[in-house]
Amino acid sequence: MHIPSKYLKYIKISGVVVAVLIVVAFVAGLIAYSKREAILETLVQKAKGKAKRDYGLNLAIVNPHFEGLSTIAFSDVSIVPENRDSLLQMSDLHIKVKLLPLLLGDIKLSGLKVKSGKVQLTKRDSIRNYDFLFKKKNDDNANVSSKPNYAQLANKLLNQLLYKIPDDMDLRNFEFLIVRDDSRMKFYVTSAVIDDGDLRSSILINNKESVWHIDGTVEPSDNKLDFKLYAEGKKVELPLIEQKLGLKLNFDTVYTQLKNTKKSGDEFHIYGSWGIKNLLINHPKIAANDIVVPYGSIDADLLIGENYIAVDSSSVIHLRDIEARPYIKYTVSPTKTYELKLRTEEMEAQHVFDSFPIGLFESLEGMKVAGKLQYSLDFFLDAAQPDSVRFSSTLQPQGFRILKWGKINLQKINSPFIYTPYEYGKPMRDIKIGPENPDYTPIDQIAPELRNAVLTAEDPSFFSHRGFVEKSIRRSIATNFKEKAFKRGGSTISMQLVKNVFLNRQKTLARKVEEILIVWLIENNRISDKRRMFEVYLNLIEWGRNVYGIGEASRYYFDKSPSNLNLGESIFLANIIPRPKKSLYYFQPDGSLRTSLRGYFKLIGNLMAARGYVARDTNAYGFYSVRLKESLRQQIAPADSVVVDSLFEADEEDTDLFLKNIFGGKKPDTIHVDQVSKLKVIQEDTTLSRAEKRRLKREQRKKEREQRRNDD
C-alpha cells in the first residue's frame, strides 16, 4: 500500500518523539534505580513522621531495602500507639508492587511474603490501642459543608481493597489477637497462600480450640473473589459477639462471591452473592430457643449512588424453597428516607412452611397445607414526614387449606380449653375457658354496653377486619419513629387473643411474627368466627390483679353478673384492659371514681353514641353511677386529687410523664397509648366519618380546656 509523502513526514516526526521519550524514561529509570535506596529511606522517614504527627503512632522499620527491581524488603516492622499496647509486629516482610500501576500513581501488590507477625487489638476499660482509627484528620483546606459522594467513595474503597490483595502471597505464623478486658480471642494463621489465584489457609482458634479455613479463588485484577469460611469437624463460633451482645451465633460455612463491579453514570454497582449454611441464632430478644437456618443466600445487585445505598429489585433472596425479590433503599439527603419492598411469585404453600427456620414458629412445626401463597410488602418512610409513612403487607392465598395441624391445633379455640396466665414467667393458675367454669359467660349473657365499650376502646373494626388494621400499624410506625422508642402498638383483638391462647408470653421478635402468622391462619381460613373469638377474649383477658375473665371482673369490682353491668361500669372496665393491675387506682376511698376519669368516659361515650350504641348523654355516660363494692374500698388510700387530675388530663406531649407517674417509670407491655391520648382514640375509630371525627375532636379539645380552667 502506498503512503503519501506528506503522511510519511508526520510518521517520522512521531517516531522521533517516541524514541526521545523512551530514552528519557530509560535515563530517568537508571537515575531512579541508582538512587532508589535513598528515595526509599526518604519515604520511610516521611511515613514515620506522618504516623507520629497525624495519628500518635510510633512506627519502626528496620533495614528497608530493595530486592530486585520491584520488591521491597523489611527485616522488622512495628507500630506502637502512644501510651498504648503494641498494635503490630512483623518480621521478614517482602512486598512486590506492579510497576505500571505505580507509574500511574496507584500501588498495586504483586506479591506479599511474611515470615511471622502479630496484630493485637486491645480494650481495657475505656482505653483502646486502635483509637487512632476514629481520629478525624485536621484539613484546613477541607470544605466542611461538602457532602460525600457515596458512589465515588465506594468505588475508591473497593479498588483500594482489591489493589492490596496480592497476586501471590505466602503468609506464615501470623497471630491476630483481640483482647477486651478479661476476654480474649486468638486467631493464629499457620499459613495463608495465594498461588496463581488459588487461596488456601489454615487458622488455629484459641490455641487449637478449633481450626478454620478460608479457601477459594481470588482474581483482584478482574474484580472477582470467590471464597468460603468453614471449620474442621465443627461449627464456626463467635464467642466475642456472644460476650458483647448476648447473641449466640454459629454456622457451618459462609460463602462470599464478588462477581463484578461497574460504574454506570452516577451509580456504582457491586454484583455478588452471599450464602450461609446451618446458621444458628440465639438471643433472648429474638427467640426463647435456638433458631436454625439450614441454608440461606442472596444474589445481590448493590447500587451505590451519590446520596443513597440500595439493593436492586433484580436481587434474589433464597431461603430453602422460598425465593423473594427485595428492594431496599436508604437515602441520606436531602432528607433521610427508608424504602423496603419484598415480593414473591406464587409458591407452593407447603414449600413456604417447610422453609421456615427451625425453631422460629414452634407451634406450626409439622403443619401440612395445600394450595399456593404469594407475598408482597411495601414500606416507605420519609424522616421529615413520618406521618405520611406507607405500609402494606399482603399474603395472598390461592386454594390454600390446612391438611394437618402442627404442634398446636388452632381449632382448640372453638372448644373448652385450659388457659394458664403467667406473671413474670411463672404460671398463676389454670383457668377453664368453657361452661365448666362458673365464671365463664357466653357472649349473649354479657351486657351489650360492656361489649360495645370494649370494642370502641380496643378495636372498633374488629368484626369487619381480617385480623389486622394497616392504618393503625402505619400510625404506630410513625409514632414510634418520632419518639425513637416503642410507644404505641397496633394490636387488634385478634392479635391479643392469639397471644394469650396459643403463645408463650415471652417478648421476642419470633413470637411476634408467629402471632401475626397465626392470626392470618385463623382469620383467613375461618377457623373460628368473630363472635366466638370475642367471647373467648372477654372471658380470658386480665381485668385486675389475678382477675381473669369478665365473670370474675364484674363480681370482683361490683358484685354483679356480667349481664347486669350498666354503661358506666362497662366504660370503666374497658378503660382498665390496657393496665389491669392499676384498676383500683381509679377509685376514691368512698368507692366513687376519681374525677380525672370523666374525660375518658365522655370520649368513649361520645364514640359509642356516634356509632349508635348508646344515646347522647351530657352527664358523662354513667360516670357518677360507678361504685366499687364495699369490701374493696378499704384497699384504697387517699390521694392528692390535684396530682391525679393533672395526670389524667395529660395531652399527647405529656404522655411519657403520665406513664412514668402511673407506672413508676416502667410501662407495662399491654399499655395502649391510644387509650391515654383521647384524640388518638377518636382518630383510630375507622367506623366514623371524617366529619364525625372532626366534631368529636373539637368537643374533646373544648372539654380539656374547660377541665384545665376548673382545675386552675
**pLDDT digit string, tens, across residues 477-503:** 888 888 877 666 678 999 999 988 988
Confidence of residue 319 (pLDDT cuts 50, 70, 90): very high
Evaluate whether 666 touches 681 at the Cβ level (below 8 Å).
no
pLDDT the model gives residue 690? 66
Is residue 12's pLDDT more than 70?
no
Residue 686: its pLDDT value, please?
Answer: 54
Q: How confident is the model at residue 678 (pLDDT cuts 50, 70, 90)?
A: low
Q: So what's the pLDDT on residue 107?
A: 63
Q: Look at residue 140 in the predicted model and tell me its pLDDT.
A: 45
Q: What is residue 669's predicted lDDT score, i.e. its pLDDT?
A: 36
Determine the length of the chain.
712
In this predicted structure, the answer to whether residue 104 has a pLDDT above a threshold of 60 is no
pLDDT band at 35 (very low <50, low <70, confident <90, very high): low
Average pLDDT over residues 653-658: 33
Contacts 24+ apart (CB under 8 A), 120-127: 120/85, 120/86, 120/87, 120/88, 120/177, 120/179, 121/87, 121/177, 121/178, 121/179, 122/84, 122/85, 122/179, 122/180, 123/179, 123/180, 123/181, 124/179, 124/181, 125/181, 127/84
C-alpha cell read off for 553: 371482673
What CA–CA distance (Å, rounded) separates 62 from 75? Answer: 6
Contact assessment for residue 440 and residue 549, using Cβ atoms and an 8 Å cutoff: yes
Looking at residue 2, its pLDDT comes to 53
Mean pLDDT confidence for 230-244: 87
Under the banding of pLDDT at 50, 70 and 90, the label for residue 641 is very low
More confident residue, 679 or 566: 566
With beta carbons less than 8 A apart as the criterion, state whether 176 and 189 touch.
yes
Contact, 237 vs 230, CB < 8 A?
no
Q: Provide mean pLDDT across the span 662-689.
A: 44
8 Å CB contact between 660 and 485: no
Band (pLDDT 50/70/90 cuts) for residue 349 is very high
Whether residue 512 has pLDDT greater than 90? no
Residue pLDDT, tens place only, 181-234: 778 888 999 999 999 889 999 999 988 789 999 999 998 888 889 999 999 989
Query: In sequence order, which residues have a C-beta less than 8 Å from that of residue 87 and are 6 or more positions away?
Result: 57, 79, 80, 81, 119, 120, 121, 129, 130
What pLDDT does residue 265 have? Answer: 82
- Do 553 and 544 contact (CB within 8 A), yes or no? yes
Mean pLDDT within 511-517 = 89
Instruction: Quote the pLDDT of residue 219.
Output: 87
Strands 198-205 vs 109-124: parallel, antiparallel or unpaired: unpaired
pLDDT of the residue at 435: 93
Helix (H) or strand (E) holding 249: strand 248-251
pLDDT value at 532 more than 60: yes
Q: Is the pLDDT of residue 645 over 50?
A: no
- Of 662 and 38, the one with more pLDDT: 38
Strand pairing partners for 300?
272
Q: What is the mean pLDDT of the chain?
A: 82
Helix residue ranges per DSSP H, 355-447: none
pLDDT tier for residue 691 given thresholds of 50, 70 and 90: low
Task: For residue 40, report the phi and psi dihedrals to the nearest 5 degrees.
Answer: -60, -45
- What is the average pLDDT across 549-560? 96
Q: Are strands 210-219 and 71-81 parallel, antiparallel or unpaired?
A: unpaired
What are the C-alpha distances in Å from 362 to residues 367, 376, 589, 690?
Answer: 10, 24, 48, 43
| Residue 182 confidence (pLDDT) | 77
Q: Please count the helices (runs of H) and the strands (runs of E) in the chain.
A: 19, 29
Task: Mean pLDDT check: name the lowest of 617-621, 626-630, 634-638.
Answer: 634-638
Confidence of residue 101 (pLDDT cuts 50, 70, 90): low
pLDDT at position 688 is 59
- Among 121-125, 213-217, 522-526, 639-643, whose mean pLDDT is lowest? 639-643
Single-letter code of the amino acid located at 26 = F
The whole-model pTM stands at 0.76
662: pLDDT confidence band, cut at 50, 70 and 90?
very low
Q: Are strands 248-251 and 236-237 parallel, antiparallel or unpaired?
A: antiparallel
660 pLDDT exceeds 50? no
Widest Cα–Cα separation across the chain: 123
Residues 283 and 260 sit within 8 Å (Cβ to Cβ) = no
Pairing state between β 109-124 and 88-97: antiparallel
C-alpha cell at 209: 480450640
**For residue 74, what is its C-alpha cell?**
523489611
Q: How confident is the model at residue 670 (pLDDT cuts 50, 70, 90)?
A: very low
Mean pLDDT of 587-605: 92
Q: Report pLDDT for 676.
A: 37
* pLDDT for residue 145 is more than 60: no
Q: Assign residue 606 a region (left: φ > 0; alpha: ψ between -120 and 50; beta: otherwise).
A: alpha
The share of the chain scoring above pLDDT 90, in percent, equals 45
Neighbours of 659 (CB within 10 A): 21
Q: 24-28, 313-317, 581-585: which has the minimum mean pLDDT?
A: 24-28
Cα separation, 148 vs 235, whole angstroms: 40
Torsion, Cα of 407, 408, 409, 413 (10° steps): 180
Report residue 521 as a C-alpha cell.
Answer: 391462619
Look at residue 11 in the predicted model and tell me its pLDDT: 55
Q: Which burial class, exposed, middle or buried, applies to 485 when counting CB atoms under 10 A from its CB (0-12, 13-18, 19+)?
A: exposed
d(CA 442, CA 535): 6
Residues 6 or more apart from 159 whose CB is under 8 A from it? Answer: none
